[in-house]
Amino acid sequence: MGRKAGPDNKKILKIKRCLKKNPRGTWIREIARQTEISKSTVHRYMIEFMKKDIEEVISISKLVKIFKLKRG
């Protein structure tokens, strides 16, 4: 028996809290460090499960992207 399918709401909440603490935006590596969630998991959650909640502020090449919570 493995974990249930779909996103872990606790991880989503941790990511949202981190983004709230950084209203001007932050990058995935910093979110991963602050939440203690792996970079790949943070990236996957933001791209797959949190599209409606976040926005990309700046993209510096394909390596560095700054994200923040959408207002609302």
Nearest in space to 36 (alpha carbons), one of 62, 58, 60, 17: 17
- pLDDT above 80 for 23: yes
What pLDDT was estimated at residue 11?
Answer: 96
If phi > 0 it is left, if psi is from -120 to 50 it is alpha, else beta; for residue 25 that is left
Q: Is residue 3 part of a domain?
A: no
Q: Is residue 4 part of a domain?
A: no
Q: Is residue 44 part of a domain?
A: yes
Mean local confidence (pLDDT), 11-18: 96
Give the domain extent around 13. 9-69
- pLDDT above 80 for 3: no
